[in-house]
Structure formats: structure tokens, C-alpha cells
Amino acid sequence: MFSPLELTLLLLGSAVLGVVAFRMLHLPPMLGYLAVGILIGPHALGLAEESHATHALAEFGVVFLMFSIGLEFSLPKLRSMRSDVFGLGMAQVVLTIVATMAFGWLVASALPPWINISWQAAFALGGALAMSSTAIVVKMLTERLELESEHGRKIIGILLFQDIAVVPLLILIPALAKNPDNLLVTLGWAAVKAVLVLVLLLVFGQKLMRAWFTVVVKRRSQELFMLNLLLVTLAAAWLTERAGLSLALGAFVAGMLISETEYKHQVEEDIKPFRDVLLGLFFITIGMLLNVRVVLENWWLVLALLVFPVLMKFALIAGLAKLFGASDGVSMRTGLALAQAGEFGFVLLNVVGGMELVDPFVIQVVLASMVLSMLAAPFLIEHSDKLVLKFASNEWMMQSLNLTQLAARTMATQQHVIVAGFGRSGQSLATLLAEEGIAYHALDLDPTRVQEARSAGANVSYGDAARRESLVAAGIYRASALVITYASTPSALKVLHLVHELAPTLPVIVRSHDDSDLDRLKAAGAAEVVPELMEGSLMLASHALVMLGVPLRKVVHRVQAAREERYASLRGYFHGISDVGDDTETTRLHTVRLTDAAQCVGRAVGEIDVDGAELMAIRRGRERLDASADMVLEAGDVVVLRGNAQAVARAEQMLLG
């Protein structure tokens, strides 16, 4: 039996190894947590046993997850997406539960007598199966640049309603389990308690929350702010638990209250580490529930429970999307993305197991099928385009029609600029081009934006610049330049690869967030890379210099020189405490003071290999000297290094020995 410290070390060590392995396979970390739980659990290697401590940590993980969902719960957001959320999303959840209950009733007579699936149990299982994985789906859509597409918005709408539906399900399922003989009274009493608690929190809690957070923030203490955030979250969870409801409901309401205050974004950032770590431990405990032996002995049943719910959810969601006016291609993409199980399915399944609504054997096989469906989800989404083109009869026609219309709009245009992305930057560029009388044609993946902009007279079409067909239809062979206006390096690299194949001499200007990918983009063929942070710094400096009386011609010369040297003198900066979460590949500056014992003392700069870093300058006394190759280092010198985190750390070790 492990001590609490040994158990914590085992869980953390296993979690790190699992997440590293799954990230190397480009799979979501959540699946790594589940795999770790299965491996170290009592039914496999037996390294960790289920205990009160692990269940408490897991429950806190759900609490912070629901708190984060509450932060995203915005009435204006719901109002703008009401058709997809309360129409399509509600229909999907309700019909999935109804279909599961109907299936349970049909097969009840064929099941062994010791597996008794009541209608309450079927309702609870239906709620669990109705959920889809927000983490996996949103990550895949983001990587594929499909969040703003038509099917992307429908997917997000359904996921949002699933998140909301968890709250009443967490109230209903325990109520159904406690007193099924007097169901109406039980549900009525649960509803009364829920309404009283919600009114108390939402009516009185709103003003109290804003006033209290203002008091805390005025103390200007990050530590106090964090302590207060944990107190509010756990206190709200405790209040709903004392009322006979779930911990998660209180956390959800606390998140809702804070979402209406000006402190929402700060809270979101501060709570993220707690949420992610505790949620990872929750998924490990879920994995520990899985009995691999039972799954292997009943592999055919697990396979059936994998294939049937996935096909059922796909058909149901695709059919509903079609009913709500989507095309065949959009309907199929929506169904494929949401056919798998989800995180909240595990939360509800955990409640079902705790209430003993279902035989443990059923829990085992359902749990196994849900895990497998989530493993399959990234592959389904990745190959959704091929599947849709193969099975949607009018998809080729729709895509051909879009490309034909795009080609027709650009056919008469010569020497125009193709603008990839028509967000704020793209629209500003288009305005300046139009004022100069330069023709342009923009491509964007947001159909609402495209429709509104075209109605106003902008030359923009729905299309993905990272697809060969869209670039050809936009007239890449006749264009004079291509500008990528969104800061996404993976997509920009795809576009540059296609341009290199189709029109190698076409100049491409790329926008990036900072200078970390500047060299990669230049090597891929970008004529110019505009790092917005660097350009912002240059503009700020130029305005300051002009205001201080420096001649405008001299300021312009300095700015132009910085651009010509590809921002070399501006790349890298000294990191502080606020930069702890920055990417380790970000270029940074770092100082090293040389002691008498440093092995580089007495050696010339040109003789020292700093292994991937760059020795920028040397401060000797009050002088800052350029690091020339023949300069000999002395004890007391302060050496300025530039490079990413690993290169700088290695260089410091070499300098000091």
C-alpha cells in the first residue's frame, strides 16, 4: 500500500510519461491520461488502487472543469448561436437519450437476468453517450482552420449545448437513482432545491461577487487573488453539495458569475493550471476503472458498443444538420466530428457507477467502447474530407460550383494581389490596395464575413488559401503577389509549398506573430515576413524618437535598417517572471557573469563554441563592447547570450564549466 506522497508521485510520474508519449504521436493528452490509468490501475499492473484520496482529486478535477465551462457561458454568445445551440444541439442530446432508452427497452429481454437495465439506467447511459469530446474536436478544427467554417460553427453549437446539458443531467441522474418509486416527488424536490440555490447565487451572488473581487484586486496581490479564486470556486461547490446537488453545479454557477465581471480573463488564465492537472488525475482514475480482462473476454460486445453508438450518433447528427438546412457535405462533416464519446460522458458514467444504477460489467464495456471511440476520433476528423467526397453525391458539384464562381470573378483580373484571410488585417490591406487602384481578390473561410463583405462591394470569396484548387481559381498564375494576413505558421507553410509548385516566382508576404518562425518562413520561400510584435515595437520607437526631436529622415533610416537586417538587432529579449509560460523555442537574451573559476576566462571569443546560441555583447565595467572574435574574456565580464531556452542554458554551462 502506497503512502499519500508515494501515490501522488506515482500518478504524476505516470501522467508525465503518458502525456509525452501521446504528444509524440500527435494525440490529445487526455487519451494519455486514460491509457496511464488503465496501465497502473488495479485491473492491469496493480500499481495504484482506488482510494478516497484519488477519488477526491478526481472530483476536484470535474469541479474546475465545470468552473471553466461556466466562464465560457455567455448569454450574448448563446443568443447569437441560438439556432445551432438550442435547435440542433438540444435535438441531438434529447434524441440520443431517447434512442438509447428505446434500444435498452428492445434488448432488455435478450440480456441475462443479472444485467438489469432499467429505464433510469438507460436514461443515464444515454446522457453519457450523447456527449462528444470538446478537447479533441476543437483542437482538430483549430489545426485544420475550420472553426469559422459552416460545419465548424454547427459543431461548436452542438458542443456548447452538450456542455450546458451536463448541468441538469448531474441533477437528474442522482434524483432518478435515489427514489425511483416516488419519482415525481424526488424530481420536484431536486428542482426546488436547484432553483433556490441558483436564485440565491445568481441574484445575490452577482453583486457580491463583483464587489468582493474589487476589494481583493485593490490589494494588488497575485497570491491573494489566487487564494480568493480557489475559495469562491470550492465554496460554491460546497454550497450546492450541502443542498443535495452536485459539486460540479456550484462550480459551474461560480464560473457564470465571474464571467459577467471584468476579471473573467485573468481568472481564466489563473485557474488553467489547476484545472488541467486535476482533470488529468480525473482521467487517470477513469482509466483505473477499466478491467482489461473483462474487455478482452468480451471483445465482441465492446466492438459492438463501439461501432453501433458511433454509427448511430453520426447518422443522427448528420440527419439533424440536414434537417436544419445544411448541405450533405456539411452534415456529414458535422456528424463525423461528433460521433465519438466525450469528457463529460466519463463524468456522467462515473456518477452512474457511483449510484449503482447499472451493473459494473455494463460500466466496463461501455467505458472501454467510449475510450476506443475517442482514440478513433482524430482519424475520423482527419479523413473526413475524403469520406465526404466519396459518399456525398453533391459535394463534388458544390465544390466545383464554388471554384467555378471564384474563377469567374477573377478571370478578367490581371496582376492582382491575392489576399489570404479577410479578417481585420486583410480588410485593412484591401482598403489600402483599393485606394491605390490595385486590384485584389481575398479568400476567407468565414461564410458570414464573406457574405457581408461581398454585399458591401469587397472582392472576397469563400475559399481556403491552403488548398491548391482555391489558389488556382483565385488566379495565382496571373497574380502579382500573395499576402497571408493571418498569423498561423503551419497554414502559411502549406500555402508557401503550394505557391512554390504553382508559381515559384510569385512574391509572398507573410504575417507572423513574432520573430520565432521568421527563418522557417523565409526558408520556405516567403519574400517578406512581417512579425507584428517587431513591427509594433518599431512603430512605437519611431513615434517616440520623432516626439523627442530626432529628425524624421534619421528615424525612417533606422526603421528601414532594422527591416533590412531582418530585425536582427531587435530579436530576443530578457525574460522575466511574467514570461514563464512562453514557448521554450522563443528567442531570448540571457546574461552570464564570469567568475574567476569560469573555464572560458583567458580565452578569445572566437575559440568558444556556445552550441546553438549567439554571444551578442560583453559588458566590462561600465562599457558595453561588441563581441569580436579576438576579444579575450576576463573574470567579472558579463556575457550577453541570445538563443532559445535550451541553447542559452547549454551555452551558460560551457562558459562557466
Where does residue 643 rank: exposed (0-12), middle (13-18), buried (19+ CB within 10 A)? buried
Q: Which of 49-63, 181-195, 268-282, 514-528 has the highest mean pLDDT?
A: 514-528
**What number of other Cβ atoms are within 10 A of residue 142's Cβ?**
12
DSSP letter string, 344-406:
HHHHHHHHHHHHT-S-HHHHHHHHHHHHHHHHHHHHHHHTHHHHHHHH-TTHHHHHHHHHHHH
How do residues 525-544 score in pLDDT, each as one tens digit? 898 888 888 888 888 888 88
Q: What whole-number percentage of the chain has pLDDT above 90?
A: 6
Distances (CA, A) of 326 to 332, 445, 540: 9, 16, 47
Residue in this structure with the C-alpha cell 415525481, named with its chain if needed = 184
Closest among 407, 428, 421 to 508, alpha carbons compared: 421
Question: What pairs with residue 640 in β-bridges?
Answer: 591, 617
How do residues 230-278 score in pLDDT, each as one tens digit? 888 888 888 877 776 667 777 877 887 787 676 776 777 777 777 777 7
Q: What pLDDT, on a 0 to 100 scale, did the predictor assign at position 319? A: 92
Distances (CA, A) of 92 to 208, 267, 432, 488: 37, 32, 46, 33
How much is the average pLDDT of 350-367? 81
460-462 and 440-444 beta bridge pairing: parallel
Q: From CA 494, how far away is CA 524, in angstroms rounded?
A: 9
Query: Which is more confidently placed, 639 or 163?
Result: 639
Query: Which is more confidently placed, 389 or 372?
Result: 372
Distances (CA, A) of 142 to 103, 145, 215, 381: 35, 5, 38, 12
| Phi-psi domain of 421 (left: phi exceeds 0; alpha: psi -120 through 50; beta: other) | left
Closest among 173, 585, 92, 108 to 348, alpha carbons compared: 173
Rounded to 10 degrees, the C-alpha dihedral 280/282/288/290 comes to -100
* 3-class DSSP assignment, residue 25: coil
Q: Which amino acid is at 308?
A: F
Q: What pLDDT, on a 0 to 100 scale, did the predictor assign at position 150? A: 79
First to last CA, the chain: 44
| pLDDT above 70: residue 579 | no
Q: From CA 5, how far away is CA 10, in angstroms rounded?
A: 9
Full-model pTM:
0.62
How much is the average pLDDT of 634-645? 85
The answer to whether residues 158 and 338 touch, using CB atoms and an 8 Å cutoff, is yes
Closest among 451, 510, 524, 523 to 481, alpha carbons compared: 510
The answer to whether residues 651 and 639 touch, using CB atoms and an 8 Å cutoff, is no
Q: Residue 110's pLDDT band (boundaries 50, 70, 90)?
A: low
How do residues 24-73 score in pLDDT, each as one tens digit? 887 777 778 888 888 888 877 877 776 666 667 667 777 777 777 777 66
How do residues 287-300 score in pLDDT, each as one tens digit? 787 777 877 888 88
Task: Determine phi and psi for 527, rounding to 5 degrees.
Answer: -70, -40
